[in-house]
Structures are given as C-alpha cells and as structure tokens.
Structure 1
C-alpha cells in the first residue's frame, strides 16, 4: 500500500465506470489492466502482481451479476496447482489483500478475488446490502463464469465478513465446490452487539447510516493509518441496512444444520471487532470438524496483522492449504 500520495477519487470513479466486461479469456482480459488508470490503481495498492510475477496473467474487469457491476480480478500462473478464492471483509476491497494474494501466487496457485457489492470499485449502496445471500449469490456466479479458465481444485479464504459469505455459500450452495476453507476471524456477531441492540432499534427507521469509528483492527500501525487516512475506497459510514442484514445472518446461522465439512478457523484473542468467543461457540456447534487455531493477542484483521502475527496466520493457512 502506498506510503505517500492519496489516490485521486476522480480516477477511481472513472476506473469503476470504465471497467470492461471480464471474459475469463486470458489474452483478452490481460490488456486493459496495462492501461494508465488501472496501473495507477494497481501500483497504489501494491497488487500489480503481473509485474512481480512476469509469467502471471492478470485479468481485471467487471462481471455483471445479480444487478451489480462486480469489480473482479484473477491472477493466473502458467501451470497453476489450483485456485485460491479470496473473499474480503466489511469495508474492505481487493486492494488491501496484497498479502494473501502474494502468498497464493508464491505457492503457484491462481487467485480469484472481487470487490463485494457496495465495496471498492463494485456498484451498490456503499458498505450496504439487503441480505448476505446476495454476497454468496455473486460468489456462485463468479465461480461458474470462471470455471473454464481457472482450475477447479479450489481453496477458499475468507476474512471476517468474507468468512460469513463463504459459510452462507456452504449452506445455500455446496461446500464441496471447494477442497478446503480457511476462515480468519469469521463474522457471526460483531463485538458489543448485545449491548448495542437497543441503539440499533432506536436508529432503525430513522437514519440510514451512522459515522464510522476507525478503531485499529491490527497491530500494524501503517495498515491502521492507511485504512483511516489514505485509502479513498474506505466508507466513512456504517450502514444501518447492513446491520439489519448482519442480524438476519446471525439469527439464521443458529438454525443451520451442522455441516461435516472440515475447515480451518484462525482467530486472534485480541480481536475487538467481533464477539469471537460467542462466534467460536456457534461455529464449533455448526462445524464439528473444524480445526480452530487461536493466536494469542492477535487482532481482527488477521491477513493484515503485523509481521509477527501475520506469519503465524499464514503458517497455519499454508500448511492447511498447500502442504497436501
């Protein structure tokens, strides 16, 4: 992520408007990302991996799905061992997922990543959604459209809300579409939800959003500063509509039948974003074959933690995914 300038919001608006349809044909999809505006965006967020890995094809464009224009990336090595599908968290976008994308490419895997509706360069009401089902529906569409290009030996990595999206996909579609899942601090309920329900009831129906509080989710001060001050794709507001969708997701999760799919769950004990103890209790009940790894004192944004904590996170993921 850039250390100095702030990316021009006009450039980002233009970029979102000009996203070409992604064909999932490598020779076609690789051309537009080489133009000036996409290169500025890719360099700013340090995700210009076609430069770091010259043999990797980077496809970048939009997929029209479920009434959204979904900004979508794939990185395709010459002989990929499989595909890692990365699903980001609330407020996030592909641009801040440099570390897990790089990890997958270093291991020789293709990567599929996209900005969820209402996030990053995708369309939709900012940081809002009517139902978490819509996120999973977009994921299902992208998996189907990329089927002929990207290897079907798939691994799924979800951070926070991205973990919720993957779990939603498991119950509403099929967990067998992925060989393995790694969920980093998956969202069931956010921290303080029980005490905040009264405020939510007061706000609902009167306001559409409230100002966002930028509390550090990582021990990496550079990442925290970037998110709060230098990332123009970050929403400044918390959507009340999204809170309603999250509430419905959490209530529905309690009624899911247990799933025997093996998964890796990585959770930091210093997480101040989700109710991680309650969440793990629910996850262990619904995912009895899940392997849970606790990292002492690690914060919430595990894929963007400081080097010390992130190394532990990625050691678990690398061992689970790639040491087959």
Structure 2
C-alpha cells in the first residue's frame, strides 16, 4: 500500500502566496491526489462541492496537511478535528453531512497523524494542539477562506482539543457552536491504566497498538486494521504523559455557556464516557447531550443506522446555530 507521503513535496512545489492550492480537474495536483481521494472514498464528494483546496500549513513547528471543501455560497465554516490515531481521510461521512448543510468544511491532520509532520501519534504537550488550531484558523481567515459563523466539530481527542479551546479562548475563539463526538476527558479504565503508566513511563517509549472494534461497522474496522497505510502501529507513552498533564488543566477551566452538542455511544470502551459527560455537562451548562445505546466510540464511522440517527441530531443543532447567527 502507498502511504501518500509523496504528496507533501508536490504541494509544496505548487504553493504560491497561499498555503493551499485549488484542485482543478485535469491539473497535475488533482491527478496526484486522486489515489488518496479514491482510497478514502473522498472522490464521491467532489460533485457536492464548488471547489476544493489542499496543501500544507506551516505553524513554525509542524506542517499540517489541510483540506478545505466548499459548497456554493457557504453558510459558514466548520472546522473538523479528528481523534487519536485518525486522520482527515477517515471523515468522509461527516464531510458529506456538513457539505449537504451548506458549510465550508476545513479538515486537517493533527501533528504526528496522517500526512502532517511530527513523531507518529505523539505530542509533547496538548497545548501544541491548541497552537495548531489557532494558527490554522488565523491563516485561513487571513486568506479569506473562513467565512463566519464558525462551527467546531471534534471526535474523541479532537473533541478534547475543541472543548479546551472553547474554555480557554472563550469568546475570542469565535465559535458559534461546538459539537463533541465521544469526547475524551479521561480514557476508559483510567484508574487502572493510570498506575500502569506511572510505572512504565520511565522505561518505555511506546507500546504495540491493540486494534479493538471501535465501531459496529465491521467493514470500517477491517479497513483500519488491514488497509489504511496512515494508521500508526504504536502507542506513544509520551502522548499518554501529555494527556495526563492536560486533564487537570481542563478540569480547572471555568464553564462556558456556548451552544454545545455532545453525542456519545453507550457501548464506548475507549473513553470513560459516563464520567466524561458529567464533567462536560458542568463545563458547558447549555450542552445538549444525546446518548445512543448501541454506538461504540468512532461515531463518524458507525454503521449506517446508528450514524444516521446521530447525524440527525447534528443536523438539528447546526440548523439552530445558523438561526442564532442570523
């Protein structure tokens, strides 16, 4: 399987004053990215957009792989933040849902994930994620590519990043609303794994990754395990250390009345979802919370019947965000 790492050199050669290049039919860049789009099913969404931009945004520390998908006359800009071990190529269902609602959609690979630079599945501090998000938003805003209102959508670690941003930057972050999908505050069985981390961290740098079916869509979980060349094969102990330092910082932040939707599966064995929801309900007192009894962790790639119900809740929330902004 090709790992698509050659795309960075091609996009950097093509980049002009803008960090991102528009993908036009027949262009060399469009042809180069075709296999990537096809492998992750993104090419099926090209008919739903008026234009697609892609490229690498430099933050000073990281080069972030970013795509901006735009319908005609976008309602606003939705920033999508993926979860740990993920990358933007896995988010076609959510991308299609947001495009259908008329939103310009910004997707990007976190540092150490997908095509972005950085040690694989690693981060020195969760604040690095916040810096990347703020830098990416400022870059796109300066280039006139991020019309308001702004909607944030995060899955798992992406939801943790988004929640931290909303609670830290507050009104200056510019969010009209945020959607937290299976949000991380602490992992499943953290009381046990926390002690293991304390014991092991001085001696181990990484652990073999164990693939668990985190969705009821068996085709998706098989794809992750066997057919996705961008999946990291190791769990970074330093990443767990960074998460451990981040947790008390989140808990110390003041609540924010920002319109918030939280979607959570009750069969989730990745995060400590009941504890997490109690924390986030306090941090976001206006949050709407929807729990699905059959959903597992990877909500954006759940089986169709489950995902359709979750996206109906998302649609309703997004409509309200638009109405409040008018």
Asked if TM exceeds 0.5, the reply is yes
Aligned to 2:169: 173
Matches within 5 A, 1:152-191: 152-175=148-171, 177-191=174-188
1:33 and 1:310 mapped to 2: Cα distance? 35
SS in 2 for 1:75: strand
- Residue 33 of structure 1 contacts residue 59 of structure 1 at CA under 8 Å; is this kept in 2? no
SS in 2 for 1:298: coil
TM-score (norm 1): 0.92
TM-score (norm 2): 0.91
SS in 2 for 1:84: strand
Alpha-carbon deviation of 1:51?
Answer: 3.1
Q: 1:103 to 1:129 in 2, by over 3 A?
A: same
- Residue 261 of structure 1 contacts residue 289 of structure 1 at CA under 8 Å; is this kept in 2? yes
Q: Does 1:241 align with 2:234?
A: no
Aligned to 2:192: 195
Aligned to 1:3: none
Q: Does 1:105 align with 2:102?
A: no
The match for 1:135 among 129, 133, 140 is 129
Aligned to 1:114: 108
1:129 and 1:318 mapped to 2: Cα distance? 33
Q: 1:311 to 1:282 in 2, by over 3 A?
A: same
Deviates more, 1:90-99 or 1:106-115: 106-115
Alpha-carbon deviation of 1:138?
Answer: 0.8
Aligned to 2:82: 88
Alpha-carbon deviation of 1:86?
Answer: 0.6
Aligned to 1:289: 286
1:300 and 1:109 mapped to 2: Cα distance? 25
Aligned to 1:223: 220
Q: Does 1:19 align with 2:15?
A: no
Alpha-carbon deviation of 1:286?
Answer: 1.6
2:150 and 2:259 mapped to 1: Cα distance? 14
Aligned to 1:36: 31
Q: 1:33 to 1:167 in 2, by over 3 A?
A: farther
Q: Does 1:48 align with 2:40?
A: no
**Residues 117-171 of structure 1 deviation map (CA, whole Å, 9 limit, x = unaligned):** 0000000010010111111111111111111122121111100001011012113
Alpha-carbon deviation of 1:107?
Answer: 1.6
Alpha-carbon deviation of 1:23?
Answer: 5.2
1:260 and 1:106 mapped to 2: Cα distance? 28
1:244 and 1:51 mapped to 2: Cα distance? 40
Aligned to 1:71: 65
Q: 1:224 to 1:287 in 2, by over 3 A?
A: same
- State the number of aligned residues: 314
Superposition RMSD in Å:
1.8
- Residue 170 of structure 2 contacts residue 256 of structure 2 at CA under 8 Å; is this kept in 1? no
Alpha-carbon deviation of 1:49?
Answer: 5.5
Aligned to 1:268: 265
2:45 and 2:182 mapped to 1: Cα distance? 29
Q: 1:179 to 1:114 in 2, by over 3 A?
A: same
**Residues 226-256 of structure 1 deviation map (CA, whole Å, 9 limit, x = unaligned):** 1111101000111001001111111211111
1:51 and 1:284 mapped to 2: Cα distance? 37
**Residues 195-253 of structure 1 deviation map (CA, whole Å, 9 limit, x = unaligned):** 11121112112111000000011000001001111101000111001001111111211
1:204 and 1:114 mapped to 2: Cα distance? 29
SS in 1 for 2:6: helix
